[in-house]
Structure 1
Amino acid sequence: MSEASELLRLQEIDLELMRTKNTAEALPQRQKVAAARAAAKKVAGELTKIVGQRKDLEIELADLDDSKRFFSEKVTEIQDGTYNQDFRSAQDMEYNLATLAKKIEKCDYDTEHLLPRLETVERAEKNARALTEKLEREEAAQVASFKQAMDKITEQVKTLAFERERIVADLPASIVTSYEAARKRFGGVAVETLVGNRPSACRVALQPSSFTDIRRSGAEVTTCPYCKRILVVTNEEA
């Protein structure tokens, strides 16, 4: 393979490597994984709040149940005559029983209103946990898909890099230095070909004298007099 052909192939490889890098950065799985993680983080925050609400309601209901049990036991003790308190009259006993009955009724009332709230919170917790599991599965699927795509890209990069190393080793060091400088300066397009009397990249028509000089030199690799890229001249073009 001639130096001209190797230079053109080197540029093809480098441009393909650039496209491959852009492809890797633009993989849709990357954004989907990030979106799933962001959603999972948000759901986790909501779930923490919901669990806290459920526990508060459960504690409140347990306290109400304990209070009701306590008041009910006192009623039983009064009715059985085992309550350790002297009642001066039946009226005092009836008053205490009525007071306890109101407290028990208040416990029942509060419990009745808290239970629907607990059911709502439990339902919200169940839904949040189900959504968390769904997001975890989605993230795992996208991570696996991303890894598969990246493995394929990595293999392509390895193949291209191996070929690039071979070409660079075959080319003269001076040409490689010029190529790397032009590649950095022009964003990857360091080599252009002569099409008629126009270089393929800068598209500025060569002056007749410049065109004649290039033809007479017989060189396949020269420098564009305008943009200073490496200019490849094939026999057909010259």
Structure 2
Amino acid sequence: MSLGSDLIKLQETDLELAKLGKQLGSLPIIDELGKKRAALTKLRAEATRLLAVRKDAQIAVDDLDEGERACHEAVDAAQARSVDPSDCRAMRDLEEELSNLAKRLERIEFDRPEAREALAAAEERERKLADYIKRFEAAIVEDTRSARDQASAIQAEIDELSLRRSHLFGRLPEDVQELYERSSKRFKGLCVERIQGNVPTVCRTALQPASMDALRHATDYAECPYCHRIIVVNEQE
């Protein structure tokens, strides 16, 4: 394989490595995963909020139940007290106490359906969100597995091309290695060009007869007099 052919293949390999590196760093599924994880954080925050709402609703129901129990105990205690029927004031106080307890029990019965309805609604919202989060987390796990597979496939290509690059670069003379590295950095990876007729394939500036004559005397490569890239003049395998 000629030096010129090695230079062409080295540049092609470097360009492919750059392309794969960019693909690896910007996989669409990686971006989607980031968005989904951010969304999951918000969903979990909403789940925490709904948990607090459901607990408050449960407390409201429990308070009504506890109030009812306390009222019934107070009624039983009042009815168990010995009151002299001839003591009008004591009888009036007892009747007023029992009347107040009855009103409290009525209020509890009035408030209970709404409280239970609020609790049931809170439990349903919490359940639905929990189910959705479970499915959402499963989708993230699947996407993570897919992203890992895609990244592994690209990395395998990168590893293979890196070995190829090392082999090609190692075959170049030291001065050509330095020239290639310097030119590749200067021209952002596109530093080697072919010649088609009298026109270099990258800068596309037609060479003058004197420059073409100089190329004919070059062994494997020369420098473009216009853009100063490396022109390969012998690409034989």
Structure 1: gaps (5+ residues): none
1:88 CA drift (Å)? 3.1
Residue 87 of structure 1: CA displacement?
A: 7.9
Q: Which runs of 5+ in 2 are unaligned?
A: none
- The structure, 1 or 2, with the larger RCO (C-alpha pairs under 8 Å, 6+ apart) is 2
Runs of 4+ deviating beyond 4 Å: none
Query: What is the deviation of 1:109?
Result: 2.2
Q: How far apart, CA to CA, are the structure 2 residues paired with 1:146 and 1:102?
A: 65
What residue in structure 1 maps to residue 61 of structure 2?
61
* CA deviation map 1:65-118 (0-9, x unaligned): 1111001111122223379xx983433222111100111122222222211111
- 1:69 and 1:235, CA in 2 relative to 1: closer, same or farther beyond 3 A? closer
Summarize the alignment of residues 139-218 of structure 1 with structure 2, pairs less than 5 Å apart.
139-215=140-216, 217-218=217-218
What amino acid is the match of 2:55? Answer: K
Contact 2:71 2:105 in 1 (8 A): yes
Asked if 1 retains the 8 angstrom alpha-carbon contact of 2:75 and 2:101, the reply is yes
Asked whether the equivalents of residues 5 and 235 of structure 2 are also in contact (C-alpha less than 8 Å), the reply is: no
Which residue is equivalent to 2:44?
44
Partners of 1:220 and 1:87 in 2: CA distance:
127
Whole-Å separation in 2 of the counterparts to 1:191 and 1:40: 48
Q: Superposition RMSD on alpha carbons, in Å?
A: 1.8
Which TM-score applies when normalising by structure 1? 0.92
Change (3 A) 1:10 1:67: same
1:88 alignment partner AA: R
- The verdict on how the C-alpha distance between 1:211 and 1:135 changes in structure 2, with shifts beyond 3 A counting, is same
The number of equivalent residue pairs is: 233
SS across alignment from 1:88: helix
In 2: Cα distance, 1:37 partner to 1:148 partner: 19
Quick one: percent identity of the two aligned structures? 33
Equivalent residue number for residue 231 of structure 1: 231
Residue in 2 aligned with 1:101? 102
TM-score w.r.t. structure 2 length?
0.92
Alignment partners' CA distance in 1, 2:235 and 2:179 = 23
Specify the alignment match of 1:219 in structure 2: 219
